[in-house]
Structure 1
């Protein structure tokens, strides 16, 4: 723990960066003051703000989810090339997305700079992301300017993102890494990315208004969850297993389903229309009479759903965005025939695109996921893309050996791996 005397010396005098003494900038000194006033110490580590599926649900609803693919394309790829990570946080400093090369991400995990962590200034002290939110301006923090010792090997630059309508701060975009992150160009890059995000949010707002979308739509989250969660206006509803199946099937068929079609998709070939009518009565009472039609059964409002957005990303050849959205299989515990078919269709499309891509980062994202962890073909594809000097090579080779043995292919495995 850093003593107050030592901190006061740093605060009023100078700090050492790159072997040279540097004067303390006023921005940094003021941030150190706030950090001490918050009761933080030099060994403070960033806490985590979410549990379980909370993060996936929260960020799917966040306004910045609409512009994250653009931010990744504009800034994320540049961060990867510079051995940095790109992060997007909410207005409270909670990290919603963190992306970069796997080895750099692992290093960032060591300082808790990972998705779900809370990097507000009052939580972890002086850092570009948290301090930029505190002063509502672009900020660059170089190594020794960080308040906590753990973070001092890193440098970072961040800029807040504003709602173009209300001018409220929606969140923040950041790049964190080594020397590249401390260059003037890095600060200019994050500032430009934030402005581009605001312009895109403004464009999307205009489009919604032109299309008569007042925002009264229903959002469904059902990826990687045993049951669906709905947001209807200002209400959050967690549905029963059977009601979850129904809303997924109706979202898949915006044109509507007859009672017979919905019964078949829900229960199979046996006639359960009487049971279906009872379920629909209870669901309508839960959602509101103005949400569902009955002849045919369908939603009266526009639907936004995480698995449908993932499929849209695949249609648009945005595999990186699809992988970020894909929190797991669609209602993995459901046995409703229609849901099972949709679940398998989406997972098969994801897997096929992963096996076609030559972007090793995307393949690694898949093999680290629930769906891809035991996918032998994906692990073999990853091994084919990696250089034997890659730090991921030993673990990838080990996983290929394990899976080949599990599938009874061990006799060929050693020979094939030795050839490489």
Structure 2
């Protein structure tokens, strides 16, 4: 069996191995855990949105997988496999690694694998045999891609093809991605043809704002069933949209200026910026007296705040792609950025979850977080393979801080 060397391991795979080890996954464990018992599986599948498009997926991708000696699987957003399809002989082989309906392939439970990585990264992933963390899975290769809700862009689950070395090619990833997009298109078609009652809750426009870890925000204006093409804003317009997006009752020109500028006397500049932004977004979206965005706002930072408030730290960390507009010095933006970052970090330290701390410490904003490295050392087992890495980073920071 092939053994990976440090030089041959892709960065995404290395990150996943660290996460798997920090979560306590045993590389010698043969099977993935069952988190959805057979008695609950049927009801969970029938209630899941992907049940409506599973027959399409099985017809388009499942049949192709059977013909080439592979397996098609569909998971929910937590990594639980809802459907696993293949020939009887392939399904029996898959049982040996726990690749069965009801098992959970989140990386923190099953180690590095394509469905788990696709869930965490939100993108298509191909994992070749020896890249898997658990040794029992290293005879398999897999390609997976997320499936999103066409109305809200939230994650519904993951579509996966698992088989031998022959599927570890870019064409497999392209085929899986195409099938997932077909499923999303069918869900969108159902939404648009569902009649006034179904569309009532999604009526009107929605402005989506992505700015976590970005210096320039991406803004998209969506209608029910269709997401608009993202527009990249200038840094100043990004700051304005953020500030208006967090002010439910709007802001006067003076209030916005105080939040936006570090000095006084910028009112004429602000008016010019607002006029340019109104021209970009449209008169119907950016209103004045007070300044406000006249539609529903969906922001990535708002999602992280809501997940944190609900106690779902894992989801909050998964959605946190970096500090809010990290280069901005606007007083209002700095306040929002520090509030979210410090709240998330405090929850992380209180969690005492080694895998979450490890994920934080492997980011650009967490790599030198001395307190998190110390907290991680306190909670990992003395025999953990992560201990040497953690001790080494603490020693590095000791030298640099000294």
Interval of TM-score (by shorter of Structure 1 and Structure 2)? 0.5 to 0.7
Q: CA deviation at 1:28?
A: 6.0
Aligned length: 283
Task: Classify 1:369/1:84 alpha carbon distance in 2 versus 1 (closer, same or farther; 3 Å).
Answer: closer
1:97 corresponding residue in structure 2: 120
Taking the aligned partners of 1:382 and 1:394, their CA distance within structure 2 comes to: 12
* Alpha-carbon displacement from aligned partner over 1:148-186 (angstroms, at most 9, x marks no partner): 589xxxxxxxxx87999964599xxxxxxxxxxxxxxxx
Taking the aligned partners of 2:111 and 2:132, their CA distance within structure 1 comes to: 15
- Contact 1:367 1:375 survives alignment (8 Å): yes
The alignment status of 1:213 with 2:202, answered yes or no, reads yes
Q: CA deviation at 1:288?
A: 0.6
Q: CA deviation at 1:385?
A: 0.9
The alignment status of 1:380 with 2:391, answered yes or no, reads no
Taking the aligned partners of 2:313 and 2:131, their CA distance within structure 1 comes to: 26
Task: Classify 1:71/1:320 alpha carbon distance in 2 versus 1 (closer, same or farther; 3 Å).
Answer: farther
The alignment status of 1:270 with 2:272, answered yes or no, reads no
- Contact 1:224 1:331 survives alignment (8 Å): yes
Taking the aligned partners of 1:139 and 1:244, their CA distance within structure 2 comes to: 37
2:67 corresponding residue in structure 1: 30
1:245 corresponding residue in structure 2: 239
Matched position secondary structure for 1:212: helix
Task: Classify 1:278/1:222 alpha carbon distance in 2 versus 1 (closer, same or farther; 3 Å).
Answer: same
Q: CA deviation at 1:79?
A: 5.8
RCO greater where, 1 or 2, for CA within 8 Å and sep 6 or more?
A: 2
Of the three residues 335, 340, 362, the one matched with 1:346 is 340
The alignment status of 1:305 with 2:302, answered yes or no, reads no
1:80 corresponding residue in structure 2: 108
Taking the aligned partners of 1:149 and 1:298, their CA distance within structure 2 comes to: 50
Q: CA deviation at 1:315?
A: 0.5
1:371 corresponding residue in structure 2: 365
The alignment status of 1:334 with 2:343, answered yes or no, reads no
The alignment status of 1:68 with 2:96, answered yes or no, reads no
* Alpha-carbon displacement from aligned partner over 1:197-228 (angstroms, at most 9, x marks no partner): xxxx99xx99x958632262010111111111
2:251 corresponding residue in structure 1: 257
Matched position secondary structure for 1:308: helix
* Alpha-carbon displacement from aligned partner over 1:295-328 (angstroms, at most 9, x marks no partner): 1111001111111111111111111111111111
Of the three residues 388, 391, 395, the one matched with 2:389 is 395
Gapped regions of structure 2 (runs ≥ 5)? 1-62, 82-101, 134-139, 146-157, 170-178, 223-227
The alignment status of 1:358 with 2:358, answered yes or no, reads no
Task: Classify 1:239/1:78 alpha carbon distance in 2 versus 1 (closer, same or farther; 3 Å).
Answer: closer
Task: Classify 1:328/1:80 alpha carbon distance in 2 versus 1 (closer, same or farther; 3 Å).
Answer: closer
Taking the aligned partners of 1:126 and 1:342, their CA distance within structure 2 comes to: 43
The alignment status of 1:223 with 2:246, answered yes or no, reads no
Task: Classify 1:299/1:385 alpha carbon distance in 2 versus 1 (closer, same or farther; 3 Å).
Answer: same
Taking the aligned partners of 1:138 and 1:324, their CA distance within structure 2 comes to: 19
The alignment status of 1:147 with 2:166, answered yes or no, reads yes
Q: When the two structures are superposed, what TM-score results if normalisation uses the length of structure 1? A: 0.57
Matched position secondary structure for 1:97: helix
- Contact 2:207 2:220 survives alignment (8 Å): yes
Q: CA deviation at 1:378?
A: 0.2
Taking the aligned partners of 1:252 and 1:161, their CA distance within structure 2 comes to: 34
Task: Classify 1:110/1:29 alpha carbon distance in 2 versus 1 (closer, same or farther; 3 Å).
Answer: closer
Q: When the two structures are superposed, what TM-score results if normalisation uses the length of structure 2? A: 0.59
- Contact 1:245 1:336 survives alignment (8 Å): yes
Taking the aligned partners of 1:327 and 1:232, their CA distance within structure 2 comes to: 21
Q: CA deviation at 1:97?
A: 3.0
2:174 corresponding residue in structure 1: none
